[in-house]
Structure 1
Amino acid sequence: MTPTSYRVLVMGVSGCGKSLVGRFVAEALEAAFIDGDDHHPAANVAKMARGTPLDDSDRQPWLAALAGLFERYRRQDESVVIACSALKKRYRDRLRSGDSGLKILFLEGSSELLQTRLAAREDHFFKGNRMLASQLADLEAPGAEEAVTLSIALAPGAIAERFVARLRDES
């Protein structure tokens, strides 16, 4: 029996733990892990570092690159987990163009918890409450038909375990 391969998007606003949870999910699935932030063009990183939110035109080349990664892994029938904010449904639809069977984990948390986590960061380009407020305003939370939603109040390892268990139950 051939093991199932998965293409997984771990999504949510900055500070929700996408990268950490994504690494745990990737490890459990024996998958590659890609931090979507590493694929932002330099201009996007500079803009966010100044505290200026990205607009849709800024995000287009970034989303296209990530959709291309999902497509590459799908064609190779290999598993990959990509951490990416994917705040709007049209962004997730763009990512799904790389793999229509994309599995999505939405990390949901209160504004207060997210602000606390962001304040503790020292070396990340995402800056300040204004940026978080912008992301929360833009967020089009996926419904149960689109994603598995788990609370960031849980430990990152527990979130990954629950998500992977659901994936395997569905396979």
Structure 2
Amino acid sequence: MLGGVQHSAAGAGPPIVVMGVSGSGKSTVGAALARRLRVPFADADALHPPANIAKMRAGEPLTDEDRHPWLDAVGEWLAEHSDGGVMSCSALKRTYRDQLRARCAPIRFVHLSGSPELIERRHVSRPGHFMPTALLTSQFDTLEPLGPDERGVVIDVSGTVEAVVETVLARSGMTDRSPHPNS
């Protein structure tokens, strides 16, 4: 079970949003989790309009107004994959998660959490991403943890990708659909 939502091997269950600050491993963990569950994966970064990417590249944090159309596109993808899918998306604020739930009510969240020092080390080692390390502070300042009424789990990211995925599967009751444990 992931926050009170159970599903069987016959159905992948509601879509999952792997959330957290930039550099927490959302895309890497999300893709690995989707492979294990044998469901589609998408990275919300690919849905940002060019103006948002330009703003972040320039070191400017996005405003809520910048995020609304992007979150609508993310919510649309989730609704299209209501029978199972994994989306990596920062979803830092409760209002952003509410906007996603307005499009796809049964979604579940996997909040990847780590210390600012760990996340910064990972962020610095990430080549070619449009999000500069200078914006990490604003991401941590914006982050609102999952509320007790939100379906999801908080997972520490200090381990390997495989360990994080194993923890997600163990804590959520999701069925591993991969033919081999580490495929």
TM-score, scaled to structure 1: 0.91
1:142 aligns with 2:150: no
Identical counterparts, % of pairs = 40
Residue 81 of structure 1 pairs with residue 89 of structure 2: no
- Whether 1:68 and 2:73 are equivalent positions in the alignment is no
Equivalent residue in structure 2 for 1:17, among 25, 29, 38: 25
For structure 2, list consecutive stretches of 5 or more residues without a partner in the other structure. 1-8, 176-183
Shift of 1:124: 0.3
Q: Secondary structure at the match of 1:51?
A: coil
Asked if the contact 2:12–2:37 (Cα under 8 Å) also holds between the matched residues in 1, the reply is no
Offset at residue 144 of structure 1 (A): 4.9
Partner residue of 1:26?
34
1:28-43 aligned within 5 A = 28-43=36-51
**Alignment match, 1:101:** 106
Letter in 2 for 1:108: S
- Counterpart amino acid of residue 136 in structure 1: F
Secondary structure of 1:100's match? coil
Q: Deviation per CA, 1:11-52, whole angstroms, max 9, x where unpaired?
A: 000010000000111011111000000000000000000111
Please list the CA deviations of residues 46-92 of structure 1 after superposition, one character each: whole Å capped at 9, or x if unmatched. Answer: 00001110000000000000111111112xx3x11000000000101
1:5 CA displacement: 2.7
1:115 maps onto 2:120 in alignment: yes
Q: Is contact 1:49-1:127 (8 Å) kept? A: yes
One-letter amino acid matched to 2:43: D
Structure-2 change in CA distance of 1:115 and 1:169 (3 Å): closer
SS of the aligned residue for 1:97 comes to helix
- From 11, 16, 28, the equivalent of 1:8 is 16
> Is 2:134 the partner of 1:126?
no
Deviation at 1:169, TM superposition (A): 6.0
What secondary structure does 2:81 align onto?
A: helix
Per-residue CA deviation, residues 76-129 of structure 1 (Å, 9 max, x unaligned), is x3x110000000001011111222111110000111111111111220000122
Displacement after TM superposition at 1:3 (Å): 2.6
What is the number of residues matched between the two proteins?
A: 166
